């Protein structure tokens, strides 16, 4: 146990050492200070000459010397730390840990016949190619404002959401990302908030090809779509995976706002029975394409309708057949509603979906569907706010018999969070209408009417 522990500690320590020496912490290895504030990319302005330590050793000794100095190597983009020079090898070392010959494991090196005469400082030319996108942008963008904190990759597209103070630098940012990111051909910026009917991003092309048809993989499942016409957010991949992992073969999924299929297609691949819907004709077209591409068409039925219409038609018809004619204790039924800006507004469609007579003969052990509804909440106590939002739109208190969980998904903006609220439908919810707002007189002597809500059932 002691040896295993020591080995583990050694592995952690050497791993940390390998990444400890950050180039941007060393003035000599930063891009020239003159590039600060550059708005039009001029790659030649990044050239600079620096002095770095190096070892020159005979070619025959390189294999024995490298393990001794490996953690001291200078590592930069497109820079080979070991280079051929005449009949020897030149090993470039990082200036942070190596200040002089004594900074190196001298005794071990001398055993290999490598001594102070093999050590020197010499000029090294650094160019634009030697820095990463992050290092370039940190050197160019204003220091007094927040820099480019994140972006999304969707296939060959880099998707930005630039703040106002970065807009003068958008062309430069786009060019740097296209230069530095592997297989990046297009850089776009979110042009406005998502407020159209189909909830897709409004995009501004800032660099590269105006080609928005992408191929990408999420959790091992390939998808293809036109990013300019549908909604796709790679930051939701973990949440998609969480839901799909809940599902087992022969479970049922009703996907009310399916998009191009990040819930529905992986579920159908697991041989679940899927009914998927989306109002956007483009999303519906790519949903069909992705189902075919993933060879799961026998397990999925798709429709192109408003979410409420889908609930009161396709979902209603399929669900009552299952509740009345199958043993629901042998499989689970899930309903996903991933349209966080407005999905809660559709919850009242489940109220009174059936008459009491239609469900009168159900067995007492029937298992009702679990709804997973997504919503944004803005404020201080967002978790409580989102619960109130769901209860208000559903017209029911989510007590311990109904509520399955309120799960944080991601932070969208300061004081704005996205949650998944999971709850069970019940016989009462499915057979009674949501209570409407009524009025009553405050007292017999007053004429003023005060709106109040009937107590939730």
Question: pLDDT, tens digit, for every residue of 239-294?
Answer: 999 999 999 999 999 999 999 999 999 999 999 999 999 999 999 999 999 999 99
Same domain? For 250 and 294 the reply is yes
Same domain? For 340 and 289 the reply is yes
Same domain? For 43 and 178 the reply is no
Helix (H) or strand (E) holding 138: helix 133-140
Q: State how far the alpha carbon of 148 is from the alpha carbons of 24, 46, 77, 226, in Å.
A: 16, 20, 20, 25
Last residue of one domain, picked from the residues 71, 106, 130: 130
Helix axes 170-180, 133-140, angle to 10 degrees: 160
Same domain? For 292 and 180 the reply is no
Same domain? For 165 and 301 the reply is no
pLDDT at 59: 92
Answer whether residue 455 is part of any domain. Answer: no
Question: Long-range contacts for 196-200 (Cβ within 8 Å, ≥24 apart)?
Answer: 197/279, 197/280, 198/229, 198/230, 198/231, 198/279, 198/280, 198/282, 198/283, 199/231, 199/280, 199/339, 199/341, 200/228, 200/229, 200/230, 200/231, 200/280, 200/282
Answer whether residue 172 is part of any domain. Answer: yes
Answer whether residue 450 is part of any domain. Answer: no
Answer whether residue 226 is part of any domain. Answer: no
Same domain? For 117 and 188 the reply is no
Answer whether residue 314 is part of any domain. Answer: yes
Q: Is 399 annotated as a binding residue?
A: no
Q: Is 306 annotated as a binding residue?
A: yes
Q: Is 172 annotated as a binding residue?
A: no
Counted domains in the chain: 3
Q: Is 134 annotated as a binding residue?
A: no
pLDDT at 139: 95
Answer whether residue 423 is part of any domain. Answer: yes
- For residue 102, what is the domain's CATH number? 3.30.70
Last residue of one domain, picked from the residues 66, 95, 130: 130
Last residue of one domain, picked from the residues 68, 98, 130: 130
Answer whether residue 349 is part of any domain. Answer: yes
pLDDT at 199: 65
Domain region containing 38 = 23-130
Same domain? For 333 and 361 the reply is yes
Question: Long-range contacts for 265-269 (Cβ within 8 Å, ≥24 apart)?
Answer: 265/221, 265/223, 265/290, 265/291, 265/294, 265/296, 265/300, 266/219, 266/221, 266/240, 268/294, 268/296, 268/297, 268/299, 268/300, 269/221, 269/294, 269/296, 269/299
Q: What are the pLDDT tens digits along the chain (457 aa)?
A: 333 333 333 333 333 344 447 888 889 999 999 999 999 999 999 999 999 999 999 999 999 999 999 999 999 999 999 999 888 999 999 999 999 999 999 999 999 999 999 999 999 999 999 999 999 999 999 998 888 888 999 999 999 999 999 999 999 999 999 999 999 999 999 886 655 566 677 899 999 999 999 999 999 999 999 999 999 999 999 999 999 999 999 999 999 999 999 999 999 999 999 999 999 999 999 999 999 999 999 999 999 999 999 999 999 999 999 999 999 999 999 999 999 999 999 999 999 999 999 999 999 899 999 999 999 999 989 999 999 999 999 999 999 889 999 999 999 988 899 999 999 999 999 999 987 533 322 223 333 333 334 344 3
Answer whether residue 17 is part of any domain. Answer: no
Q: Is 280 annotated as a binding residue?
A: no
Same domain? For 367 and 246 the reply is yes
- For residue 196, what is the domain's CATH number? 3.30.300.110
pLDDT at 297: 98
Same domain? For 319 and 400 the reply is yes
Same domain? For 203 and 304 the reply is no
Strands (E), 278-327: 300-303
pTM: 0.82
Same domain? For 257 and 285 the reply is yes
pLDDT at 440: 29
Q: Is 278 annotated as a binding residue?
A: yes
pLDDT at 195: 54
Same domain? For 266 and 412 the reply is yes
């Amino acid at each position: 146990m002691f040896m295993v522990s020591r080995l583990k500690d050694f592995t952690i320590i050497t791993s940390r050492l390998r990444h400890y020496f950050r180039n941007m912490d060393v003035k000599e290895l930063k891009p020239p200070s003159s590039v600060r504030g550059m708005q039009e990319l001029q790659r030649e302005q990044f050239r600079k000459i620096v002095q770095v330590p190096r070892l020159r050793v005979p070619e025959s000794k390189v294999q024995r010397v490298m393990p001794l100095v490996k953690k001291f190597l200078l590592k930069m983009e497109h820079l080979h730390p070991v280079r051929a020079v005449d009949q020897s090898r030149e090993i470039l070392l990082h200036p942070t840990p190596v200040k002089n010959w004594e900074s190196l494991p001298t005794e071990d090196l001398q055993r290999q016949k490598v001594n102070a005469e093999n050590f020197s400082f010499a000029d090294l030319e650094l160019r634009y190619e030697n820095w990463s996108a992050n290092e370039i942008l940190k050197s160019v963008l204003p220091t007094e404002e927040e820099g480019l904190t994140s972006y999304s990759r969707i296939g060959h597209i880099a998707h930005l959401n630039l703040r106002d103070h970065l807009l003068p630098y958008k062309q430069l940012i786009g060019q740097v990302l296209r230069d530095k990111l592997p297989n990046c051909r297009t850089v776009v910026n979110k042009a406005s908030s998502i407020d159209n009917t189909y909830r897709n991003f409004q995009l501004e092309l800032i660099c590269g090809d105006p080609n928005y048809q992408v191929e990408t993989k999420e959790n091992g499942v390939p998808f293809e779509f036109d990013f300019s016409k549908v909604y796709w957010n790679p930051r939701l991949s973990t949440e998609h995976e969480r839901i799909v992992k809940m599902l087992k073969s022969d479970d049922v999924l009703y996907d009310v706002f399916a998009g191009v299929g990040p819930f529905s297609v992986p579920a159908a691949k697991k041989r679940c029975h899927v009914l998927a819907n989306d109002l956007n004709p483009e999303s519906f077209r790519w949903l069909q394409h992705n189902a075919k591409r993933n060879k799961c068409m026998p397990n999925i039925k798709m429709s192109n309708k408003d979410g409420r219409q889908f609930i009161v038609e396709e979902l209603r018809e399929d669900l009552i057949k299952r509740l009345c004619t199958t043993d629901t204790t042998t499989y689970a039924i899930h309903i996903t509603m991933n349209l966080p800006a407005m999905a809660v507004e559709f919850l009242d469609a489940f109220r009174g979906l059936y008459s009491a007579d239609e469900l009168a003969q159900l067995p007492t052990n029937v298992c009702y569907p679990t709804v997973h509804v997504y919503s944004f909440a803005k404020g201080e106590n967002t978790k409580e706010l989102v619960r109130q939002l769901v209860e208000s739109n559903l017209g029911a208190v989510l007590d311990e018999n109904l509520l399955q969980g309120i799960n944080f998904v991601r932070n969208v903006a300061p004081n704005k969070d996205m949650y998944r609220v999971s709850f069970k439908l019940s016989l009462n919810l499915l057979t009674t209408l949501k209570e409407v707002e009524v009025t009553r007189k405050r007292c017999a002597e007053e004429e003023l009417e005060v709106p109040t809500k009937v107590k939730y059932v």
